[in-house]
Amino acid sequence: MATHIIFQCPVCQTRRLASPDPVEGVIRCGECNWTRNEGIHDFADGHLCRCRICGCQDLWRQKDFPPALGLALVATAAVLSCIAWAMYRPALAIGILMVAGLIDMVLYTMMGDMLVCYRCGARHRRTAIDDQHPRFDLETAERYRQQDLKQRQITHGT
């Protein structure tokens, strides 16, 4: 399976999807011809170690599970469960919720992980990830948010 990188082009700001092949291949924006070609330097021991878009070394690991899917599942189960309650079938109502929870859990375990960049938000899907890679850290995220704010103030001169 080819790797997928969903990113915002640093130059023209368009949302792009890149599937470099091989994985360490050059990333390019089809809109403005921006390219980044750090190749194998973005990897350590065969694992992705920095953002392939901005080179930031802080990435967090996240389940590659569309939140909308989980939400839709929960919403459907809630509605069905309410109908069952209204029909005086409490066992069925609880059963529906339990089954939905189970499906949610199974789907969640089946989905792979992806790496998200703290700085530019690029999502690296289906890439080689170290099992020990840290998950989301609020402190790191806050640090990057502050940096970003400062950056904006400098560029806009406010």
Q: Contact residues for Zn ion (CB under 5 A)?
A: 9, 11-12, 29, 31-32, 34, 51, 53-54, 56, 117, 119-120, 122
CB of 127 to Zn ion, least distance (A): 13
Q: Which is nearer to Zn ion, 8 or 97 (CB)?
A: 8
Q: Which residues pair with 22 in a beta bridge?
A: none
**Dihedral over Cα of 123, 126, 129, 134: its sign:** positive
DSSP state at residue 121: -
CB of 22 to Zn ion, least distance (A): 20
Q: Which is nearer to Zn ion, 36 or 77 (CB)?
A: 36
What's the CA gap between 20 and 9, in Å, rounded?
15
Secondary structure (DSSP) of 34-55? -EE--GGGGEETTEE-S-TTT-
Say how far residue 123 (Cα) sits from the centre of its chain: 5
Q: Which is nearer to Zn ion, 89 or 133 (CB)?
A: 133
CB of 53 to Zn ion, least distance (A): 5
CB of 153 to Zn ion, least distance (A): 21
Q: Which is nearer to Zn ion, 76 or 147 (CB)?
A: 147
Within 10 angstroms of residue 96's Cβ, the number of other Cβ atoms is 21
